[in-house]
Structure 1
Amino acid sequence: MKENKVLKSSMIVMLFVIVGKILGIVRDSLVFAKFGTSHSSDIYVWCFGIVYLFTSLGYGLSTTIIPVLTEYIETKDTRERNSFVNNVTNTSMLATVIITGIGILFSYYIVYYFANNLSNDPMLFKQTVKILRIMFLSVLFLTLQGVVAGALQAHKEFSIPSAMAAAANLIYIIYLSLFVDKFGLTGFAITTVLAFFIQFIINVPKFRKLGYRYKLEVDFKDKDLRKMFILMIPIIISTATMQFNLFINRSFAIGLYEGAASILDCANKVTLLTYEVFAVAVSMIIYPILSTFIVQNNHEEYKKSLVKSINIINLVMIPAALAIVILREPLISVLYLRGKFTISSMKLVSEALVLYSPTMVAYGVRDVLNRAFYSAKDTKTPMIYSVVGVVINVVLSAVLYRHLLVPGLALSSSISSVAITLMLFLKMNKKFPGIQFSSMAKTVGKISIASIIMGVIIYFMKKIFIINLVSGFVLNLTILFVCAAIGSILYFVLTYLFKIEETMYVWNIFKSKISKK
């Protein structure tokens, strides 16, 4: 396997992810335009957060099935692979049906205890319970999606799993454009269930093409099934804790003022723009590659691929985080300033965004490190540190939200995510001695210097362009376009002059293409 396999594969997947992210931006813009930062948007954001806690089931399945199924692909025939996948599907769906039923049955109490600010208004409380019960049905498709998408990735098929977000966002956009005025928030909850179903179903044709056929096979005694579920429990806990962090922050926010949860969610979405396009693609690609190296007992290539992946993450995330902070007002204005999303909402989101920005880099690096531990069949370490991160976040949130309101919740989330990432770094260094973290630190230093120089330039460029922040969509779009274009070129040149390996690799590919033409 070539040294730059991660970079090449990630760029291909990114094309699909970018489409999904663009549609996601359109979706979010329509959501805030239709609902604003109101009780309705707070209800949806909070209920969606509850359901998203259970994405850990799908993520746990897709993550743990990859290394086990990779071994099946290497050593066993199609019939045995098919039987194993069917067993995983049926046993996990049995558990999911039970969880979904319990969630629907106890929705009243979930709302009462975790969103008691809404319980003060009987109408809002009743509506929240109704929306939550509808959206709990999404959990069924999260499980199916996790199994099928994980199987595809085990076969190094990444394009369709990376297109799931685009398909789901298209469903949201159709509803928000054509039907939301008639069916409102209830229809939006039903649309959410449909979107999760679409994410599952688009994987099925390729899944069948690989030779998989569904059968009602259940064998609780299967040793590989047990091994997978043992590995999966810590992953579910560690992944759920990440979503639980967001849920806790939203629950604190929903008690502050109308629209506070939506403000926090909007700031988080802007922060994760680059992360969801780039870092998710890298972590998706690197996991089966690292799993293969572990199966082959090739620790040297494992360590090289890990370092290269983290360097790639930092190369994009560090300048992106800085640029988003500097250009936050025009960016938020272009994305959301329309309909019921007001100037005051934009300013509140902008304040929270500054303190949220460190999570962009931390999330990206943490995802790669988590996948590295999972590929080595160590699922306990990420789980333990994730639980520690939740404790840090809850304590800090309880203190900071009283004094700093929504920005305080953003700050607590940033501190928690950075702390988790640093702990994972230290543990990985002990687990695999010889990883060249010193060279990686030098690369981070070069990236940081280049990013700061770029940041200073685009800051003064913004000052030159700006006359009145909210004078119009065209002004803000011009600021973004010009600053992003010139800033990106400047940053690329600086990282090339600093001889950052990943930048030089991209430049050499470009030169070779030009010379051939």
Structure 2
Amino acid sequence: MNHKNIFKVAWLIAVITIVSKVVGFGRDVVIAQAYGASMASDAYFYAYQVPALTLILLGGVSGPFHTVTVSIFSKEDITGKPSRDAEKALNTFLNITGIVFTLLTILVYFFSDTVAKAITAGGNAQLQAMVAEQLRVMSPIIFIGGVVGILYGISNVYNRFLLTTLSPTMASFAIIVAIWGFGSDNTGLILAWATLAGAVLQLLIQLPAYFQVGFKYLPDFDIKMDKIKKIGEIIFPAVVGCTIGQLNIYVDMFFASQLAEGSWSAISYANKIFQFPVGIIMTAMLVPLFPVFSNLVGKNDWDSLRFYFHKGLSSLWFLAFPVFSIIFVFSQDAITLLFQRGKFDAGDTVMVTQALIFLSFAIFPYVARDLLTRIFYAFDDTKTPFLIAAMSIFTKAVMNYFLVKPFGLAGITLSTAAMAGINLVWLAFLIRKKVNLDFKRIRTPLLKITAAALVMTAVAFGSNLLLHQILGESRIFLLINVLTSGILAMIAYFIMTLILKLDIAEQLLYKIKAKIFKIINH
């Protein structure tokens, strides 16, 4: 796939991901309206973190099962029907994963009370009982997550992005339909059952691509294959690394369970708002770039690897900086507009806003860290990211201990942003042992983007303040304010990047002009 096709695919995935994220965001709004930041929502968000480890972190986009599948099978000839060797390796991988994750599902189901007490150690008995009950309902998602990751990975190898990228939308629709159909309950069990139904739909929608490319499922179980040995070498540290990364979440849950009711829900809502734009950016860029990184490392083509890394990082930061500015200036107004209705009141808005503003600082190291991690994965090195993640747990706990006291729930999200920065520094330092990525070349575009983002933030803040004074605080005027100020700020940002002659902005302007010219001539 050449660089033009890569960015065409990136745009396609971006559009699909936007649709998926919009539906997912609608799901979060529906949950917030039905449950607010309450004990029932706390219980759901606590319980969901256990199966989410497999469905989102391990089996999700850019998770270990997805990335390992891409890394191993992208080296195959994909122009024709899969070879019997590739089919056998993939089926063996699926079968091993299915057995292991079935055992984990059974363990979590029967020991749900113990798990609930461990992750909500600071909570009361009622909360822990609600978490355990929801966890039993959602435990089969643990099995589903690993299988989904493999199927999604093999679809990407064969350039099948449409249905697989849309699959999370099914999970969101299931929750929306369940709440609209059955309403809310005091235990959150409706959420748990709907989440399980959504995960099943997410698995089913992956299957057509698996069969369309020519694979046939068989009960293969050849652990002596070279591919399986290689998968084992890569997947184990990657899974442990993600699990250790999830331990940071459990550390956060421990500290949040000691705060006021609704605190963990507020942090969860803030994270979902944060992940809405960030997830679109990351999915659109990393999904098409990772197979390219893997292929270039296999060819020892270091110049091309540096080119795509610089292109990817510049694009990520070009998009990330305005996202930060918008969150920083408009977070409270946006949360009021989108969430403050039903059981989600003004107090909940304040809690989510506090968590979100501090979390927004994580976007800069977050996108760069995940891009660098893909370079390590392209070298079949999952151990280094794993060790860095392992070291972060103790540091995260210490930062939470000192930050939660003065900042409350915002201290938890502030420590998350700080940890992303620390991990990025370690990755950037250690990647030099494998390849010289010439980080100095990023300095100039980064300075230009930063300068443009500062102007954007000033325009956003000034216009927002002025319109608040002129229009007042009613919901319709608040919407006009956010839209008008946001558009003015984005225009200011784009103009500044053009004035500063940022390559990405100039290329984007050229494409816009070309599209307009094409439309006019037709």
Are the aligned partners of 2:46 and 2:119 in contact in 1 as well (CA < 8 Å)?
A: no
Structure 1: 5+ residue stretches without partners: none
Structure 2: 5+ residue stretches without partners: none
Shift of 1:130: 0.9
Instruction: Tell me the number of residue pairs that the alignment of Structure 1 and Structure 2 aligns.
Output: 514
Q: 2:377 aligns with which of 358, 374, 378?
A: 374
Structure 1 residue 200 corresponds to structure 2 residue 194:
no
* Mapped partners of 2:315, 2:224: distance in 1: 42
Q: Which residue of 1 aligns with 2:15?
A: 15
* Mapped partners of 1:454, 1:184: distance in 2: 44
Structure 1 residue 212 corresponds to structure 2 residue 215:
yes
Q: Could you give the per-residue CA deviations for residues 86-127 of structure 1, whole angstroms, max 9, x where no partner exists?
A: 111001111111111111122111112321343x33x43322
Q: Which residue of 1 aligns with 2:252?
A: 249
Structure 1 residue 410 corresponds to structure 2 residue 413:
yes
Q: Which residue of 2 aligns with 1:173?
A: 176
Shift of 1:450: 0.1
Q: Which residue of 1 aligns with 2:141?
A: 138
Are the aligned partners of 1:271 and 1:357 in contact in 2 as well (CA < 8 Å)?
A: yes
Are the aligned partners of 1:47 and 1:128 in contact in 2 as well (CA < 8 Å)?
A: yes
Q: 1:109 aligns with which of 94, 111, 114?
A: 114
Are the aligned partners of 2:403 and 2:415 in contact in 1 as well (CA < 8 Å)?
A: yes
Q: 1:487 aligns with which of 486, 489, 495?
A: 489
Map 1:186-197; keep pairs closer than 5 Å: 186-197=189-200
Are the aligned partners of 2:184 and 2:190 in contact in 1 as well (CA < 8 Å)?
A: no
Are the aligned partners of 2:130 and 2:187 in contact in 1 as well (CA < 8 Å)?
A: no
TM norm structure 1: 0.95
- For the residue of structure 2 that corresponds to 1:72, the secondary structure is coil
Residues 501 and 5 (structure 1), Cα distance of their counterparts in 2 relative to 1, 3 Å cut: farther
- For the residue of structure 1 that corresponds to 2:294, the secondary structure is helix
Letter in 1 for 2:31: V
Map 1:81-480; keep pairs closer than 5 Å: 81-118=86-123, 120-121=124-125, 123-181=126-184, 185-433=188-436, 435-467=437-469, 471-480=473-482
Are the aligned partners of 1:10 and 1:282 in contact in 2 as well (CA < 8 Å)?
A: yes
Q: 2:67 aligns with which of 48, 52, 63?
A: 63
Tell me whether 464-473 or 50-59 shows the greater mean CA deviation: 464-473
* Mapped partners of 2:17, 2:471: distance in 1: 31
Letter in 2 for 1:109: T
Are the aligned partners of 1:21 and 1:273 in contact in 2 as well (CA < 8 Å)?
A: yes
* Mapped partners of 2:170, 2:292: distance in 1: 26
- For the residue of structure 1 that corresponds to 2:160, the secondary structure is coil
Are the aligned partners of 1:29 and 1:335 in contact in 2 as well (CA < 8 Å)?
A: yes
* Mapped partners of 2:358, 2:178: distance in 1: 33
* Mapped partners of 1:347, 1:337: distance in 2: 10
Shift of 1:4: 4.5
Shift of 1:471: 3.3
Are the aligned partners of 1:333 and 1:470 in contact in 2 as well (CA < 8 Å)?
A: no
Are the aligned partners of 1:168 and 1:198 in contact in 2 as well (CA < 8 Å)?
A: yes
Q: 1:497 aligns with which of 487, 496, 499?
A: 499
Shift of 1:35: 0.8
* Mapped partners of 2:78, 2:22: distance in 1: 37
Structure 1 residue 45 corresponds to structure 2 residue 48:
no
Residues 18 and 9 (structure 1), Cα distance of their counterparts in 2 relative to 1, 3 Å cut: same
* Mapped partners of 1:382, 1:469: distance in 2: 50
Q: Which residue of 1 aligns with 2:514?
A: 512
* Mapped partners of 1:248, 1:477: distance in 2: 37
Letter in 2 for 1:392: T
Letter in 2 for 1:428: I
Letter in 1 for 2:227: D
* Mapped partners of 1:468, 1:511: distance in 2: 36
TM norm structure 2: 0.94
Residues 172 and 290 (structure 1), Cα distance of their counterparts in 2 relative to 1, 3 Å cut: same
Are the aligned partners of 1:390 and 1:416 in contact in 2 as well (CA < 8 Å)?
A: no
Shift of 1:272: 2.2
Q: Could you give the per-residue CA deviations for residues 230-256 of structure 1, whole angstroms, max 9, x where no partner exists?
A: 101121122233332223212211221
Q: Could you give the per-residue CA deviations for residues 31-79 of structure 1, whole angstroms, max 9, x where no partner exists?
A: 1111111100100011111222234432222111112111233699532
Letter in 1 for 2:359: Y
Are the aligned partners of 1:250 and 1:264 in contact in 2 as well (CA < 8 Å)?
A: no
Shift of 1:19: 0.7
Q: Could you give the per-residue CA deviations for residues 324-370 of structure 1, whole angstroms, max 9, x where no partner exists?
A: 11111111112211111111111122122221111122221111111
